[in-house]
Amino acid sequence: MRRIVRWDPVREMVSMREQMDRLMSDVFAAPSVWQNDEYAGYMRLALDVTENDESFTVHASVPGINADDLEISFSENTLTIKGETKDERVDENEKWHLRERRFGSFMRSISLPTAVNVNAIDADFENGVLTLILPKAEEVKPHRIAIKVNGQQPVDAVDAVAA
């Protein structure tokens, strides 16, 4: 015998929310996002990336790391930052109450959407923040095109020639 159940939209939404909560906890509780690929064992490095007409700017927070311990490379429009934080050894007689800081290797690669002038990349390290300026290649930078009116040289171009 079949049972007829009245449709309850609230029950359906609660069920969907429970399924989404389970999915998110499974994803974020995993010990490593990259368990089966080349990045296994690496911590993820948080980055901020901005772009303007001239360049890309990348900021990476790497507190407690010396600039000498960072490796930065750029190949085929992909920026890669690698490094390692060392574990601080403590006296064996000390017992831990809380230990949240991470130690080990980290690496992050990002692909940029346009060509970069590799010879002009600038890296600066100050107060635990790595800042990279990656200038765009000349061929991808926007160029302003002056418009002639009635065959006359544009006003902007005349001012530039006079200066």
Q: Which tens digit of pLDDT belongs to each residue from 153-163? A: 766 544 444 44
Q: Which of 124, 144, 125, 141 is nearest to 133 (CA)?
A: 124
CA distance linking residue 156 with residue 163, whole number of Å = 11
Write the CATH number for 136. Answer: 2.60.40.790
pLDDT at 135: 95
pLDDT at 142: 74
Task: Answer yes or no: is 12 within a domain.
Answer: no
Task: Answer yes or no: is 161 within a domain.
Answer: yes
Query: Is the pLDDT score of 126 beyond 50?
Result: yes
* Furthest C-alpha separation in the chain: 94
Contacts of 108 (CB under 8 A, 6+ apart): 44, 45, 47, 60, 80, 81
Instruction: Tell me the sheet residues that pair with 135.
Output: 55
Task: Answer yes or no: is 94 within a domain.
Answer: no
The predicted model gives 67-93 an average pLDDT of 86
Task: Answer yes or no: is 23 within a domain.
Answer: no
According to DSSP, residue 154 is labeled P
pLDDT at 5: 75
Task: Answer yes or no: is 19 within a domain.
Answer: no
Domains in the chain: how many in total? 1
More confident residue, 33 or 103: 103
pLDDT band at residue 52 using 50, 70 and 90 as cut-offs: very high
Query: Is the pLDDT score of 146 beyond 60?
Result: yes
Task: Answer yes or no: is 7 within a domain.
Answer: no
Range of the domain at 121: 34-87+102-163
Q: Which of 50, 47, 52 is nearest to 136 (CA)?
A: 52
Helix (H) or strand (E) holding 20: helix 9-29
Task: Answer yes or no: is 60 within a domain.
Answer: yes
Please state, for a pLDDT cut of 70, what percent of the chain lies above it. Answer: 81
4-20 per-position pLDDT tens digit = 878 788 878 888 888 88
More confident residue, 114 or 152: 114
Task: Answer yes or no: is 124 within a domain.
Answer: yes
- Residue 89 tokens, joined: 């050894």
